[in-house]
Structure 1
């Protein structure tokens, strides 16, 4: 009887051969093809260099988009986000080409440059990973319930601070006003040289209006801007559409929107007291002895306005007018100063919280704010200083402004409940607007 031969060795040999072929093919394929890298852990926005922002975001196909928000012109001159359209890539590749950014991207350019070709850096995934390892995302919505946005300028570079971290957005400009939504940041820009305020910046892109902007309010998806048209009349721009508020010369200085209805302060440049006050629903409501309304706030259908006005000098032998700072509540006026201070006194910004009225400004040359008419000094008056904007978050009082002086005494400031934070080391810096989200 012959012995039967077992099939086990043949099966084992065949299986080994199949596995060898499979893994050989797998490794060869991996080396020859481009593999996608999951950068989920890096999703966010990063300061790439002094003028650049790197953004990694979700895109509709569940891959990842990578935006460079700034580039350099071929001749090496800097170009800002205002001058380019964002270049977006829908995937990040490694191995193979190892390129996650194009060598060169042709993008749109504005009148500020004659160079339409922008050269972006070339990074490998390894280089990107190394770059991100040493950086944290810029704090956009870091705390979600409490992010402090401040708009300002440093050495003629428009910038904004988020929780104290500065981001430059445009050279040769100042960031005047700021607001933020869940997805976007809005900033009004003024030219450092001409002082024209005809641009606004929205999350990396700059837009121009036909006039100058003095007030901004973001309500949901709607952007409201107010100011003065090219022909010298007060105007409202809602999502880019311009509307004249009156036919005579004047300027719209601020805006507040409640339930989709805008309230807008107006200064009549012909000094007509019946046309200086605030605009609502097509009508102008004059304010008694109002010269220049600066800011407006509406709470529970009560209209609060602050600014400059006049009062009678009762001590004078001859009855004369004197300039004073004041505020109005549904047309009733309340004095903040009596017109006798040696140095400047002005009211610049207003915020209402639980029926308490907060106003930021300057009193006798010192930065300050008033609460229900009671003065609170933020500086001692040794150096000229002023506060430009105020925001109340719960019980905390945030004020931004400027103080002259040297070292940590000078430049852009943020005060929280009276405690000062230096936003910039440059004396040529200022903080103009604040928004808390």
Structure 2
């Protein structure tokens, strides 16, 4: 990503969601890759974070640095990690673990050491995104159904102008000037019908900003946030009760539709560089898709059964997409990433073992 100001996004991977059908995509045909920008080989460190284990857990939290596996938990408890940030050689990972007698609790790890986050009045807390600015650690998440964030472990609540309930999907951005951006979709049930009403919001320095007017769908989520100067980009989707989805992104308050009224239409992450808007998600039949400026770009699948795209980063002219692939029978998932459309596996397949990749971070050496 960048070395100074950190732009980062996170797909929140609760196990029931991340291992569900909405993230399992049928294979696309082999291609020559992304290929619009000239490919330049750069010396970078590639960090990919996720969790692995049997289908129903427990899961081991882990990340890879240039293919080397670093485990954060030993697999004896349920652990889910959702975002990674690297600052001056220190590695920060945000996630949620199950603590005996307390249930789900938000935590983060710094260089492998677990840091518990403060609680206010919650039955549970969950951490979904993390960033560091001027030595302070910022984590976004939820306590019960309230939007919260932590600064160096201390909990703060996000203000709301309505009585909507927060979706458990977040994106966060922290600048070097310590401007904090948090984006999410909020929802409210509509009496007597199956649909709900969604609104996309972001908070800058604890001040609420409404992006969309209320839209009536069964479900929706924000998958990614990117701040480019004065422009705010948010990726996400709406979905009806039958799984039909609309993958979209918003630039400030202007809406762009990537898929319309298709089964599996989703948008999971966004990255903007040199005026080019990069989005990952899925289309018809949950087919994994990558869009550059609204146009689909192919990625290499090599006959694999299905895949998931969960995070994207652009460094110089190289496009990195982190995710997983599986076999046709769906009895394993392995983590890895695509660089300029070419697949790089980070592990070998093991029957009945499932890896969920949730975020990535690129650091130039």
TM-score under structure 1 length normalisation? 0.59
Q: CA deviation at 1:352?
A: 1.0
Task: Summarize deviations over 1:234-256 as a string: whole Å, max 9, x none.
Answer: 11212222221135432461111
Q: Distance in 2 between matches of 1:284 and 1:360?
A: 24
Q: Secondary structure at the match of 1:348?
A: strand
Q: 1:418 aligns with which of 332, 341, 345?
A: 341
Task: Summarize deviations over 1:213-249 as a string: whole Å, max 9, x none.
Answer: 122222231211111113x211121222222113543
* Shift in alpha-carbon separation, 1:401–1:197, aligned structure 2, 3 A: farther
Query: Within the alignment, does 1:284 sit opposite 2:201 as a pair?
Result: no
* Shift in alpha-carbon separation, 1:380–1:170, aligned structure 2, 3 A: same
Structure with the bigger percentage of helix: 1
2:296 is matched with which residue?
A: 375
Q: CA deviation at 1:429?
A: 1.8
1:345 is matched with which residue?
A: 265
2:68 is matched with which residue?
A: 165
Q: CA deviation at 1:204?
A: 2.4
Equivalent pair of 2:98/2:105 in contact (CA under 8 Å): no
Query: Within the alignment, does 1:175 sit opposite 2:81 as a pair?
Result: yes
* Shift in alpha-carbon separation, 1:237–1:357, aligned structure 2, 3 A: same
Q: Secondary structure at the match of 2:347?
A: coil
* Shift in alpha-carbon separation, 1:416–1:226, aligned structure 2, 3 A: same
Equivalent pair of 2:311/2:323 in contact (CA under 8 Å): yes
Query: Within the alignment, does 1:234 sit opposite 2:147 as a pair?
Result: yes
Q: Distance in 1 between matches of 2:338 and 2:277?
A: 18
* Shift in alpha-carbon separation, 1:168–1:297, aligned structure 2, 3 A: same
* Shift in alpha-carbon separation, 1:322–1:432, aligned structure 2, 3 A: closer
**Which stretch of the first structure deviates more once superposed, 296-305 or 234-243?**
234-243
Q: CA deviation at 1:264?
A: 1.1
Q: Distance in 1 between matches of 2:339 and 2:99?
A: 32
Equivalent pair of 1:151/1:434 in contact (CA under 8 Å): yes
* Shift in alpha-carbon separation, 1:206–1:385, aligned structure 2, 3 A: same
Structure with the bigger percentage of strand: 2
Q: CA deviation at 1:399?
A: 0.6
Q: Distance in 2 between matches of 1:192 and 1:415?
A: 32
Query: Within the alignment, does 1:219 sit opposite 2:219 as a pair?
Result: no
Q: How many residues are paired up?
A: 283
Q: CA deviation at 1:157?
A: 1.8
Q: CA deviation at 1:191?
A: 3.6
* Shift in alpha-carbon separation, 1:404–1:192, aligned structure 2, 3 A: farther
Equivalent pair of 2:82/2:127 in contact (CA under 8 Å): no
Query: Within the alignment, does 1:244 sit opposite 2:165 as a pair?
Result: no
Within a 5 Å distance, the mapping from 1:395-434 to structure 2 comes to: 395-405=317-327, 410-426=333-349, 427-434=353-360
Q: CA deviation at 1:159?
A: 1.4
* Shift in alpha-carbon separation, 1:324–1:412, aligned structure 2, 3 A: same
**Which stretch of the first structure deviates more once superposed, 326-335 or 243-252?**
243-252
RMSD: 3.1
Q: Distance in 1 between matches of 2:286 and 2:249?
A: 19
Equivalent pair of 1:267/1:292 in contact (CA under 8 Å): yes
* Shift in alpha-carbon separation, 1:433–1:415, aligned structure 2, 3 A: same
- Runs of 4+ residues deviating >4 angstroms: 192-195, 271-275, 406-410
Within a 5 Å distance, the mapping from 1:303-318 to structure 2 comes to: 303-309=232-238
Equivalent pair of 2:244/2:265 in contact (CA under 8 Å): no
Q: CA deviation at 1:406?
A: 6.5
Equivalent pair of 1:304/1:328 in contact (CA under 8 Å): yes
* Shift in alpha-carbon separation, 1:192–1:241, aligned structure 2, 3 A: closer
Equivalent pair of 2:187/2:198 in contact (CA under 8 Å): no
Task: Summarize deviations over 1:2-35 as a string: whole Å, max 9, x none.
Answer: xxxxxxxxxxxxxxxxxxxxxxxxxxxxxxxxxx
Task: Summarize deviations over 1:375-395 as a string: whole Å, max 9, x none.
Answer: 123347862321010010101
Equivalent pair of 2:235/2:248 in contact (CA under 8 Å): yes
1:298 is matched with which residue?
A: 227
2:95 is matched with which residue?
A: 189
Query: Within the alignment, does 1:260 sit opposite 2:178 as a pair?
Result: yes
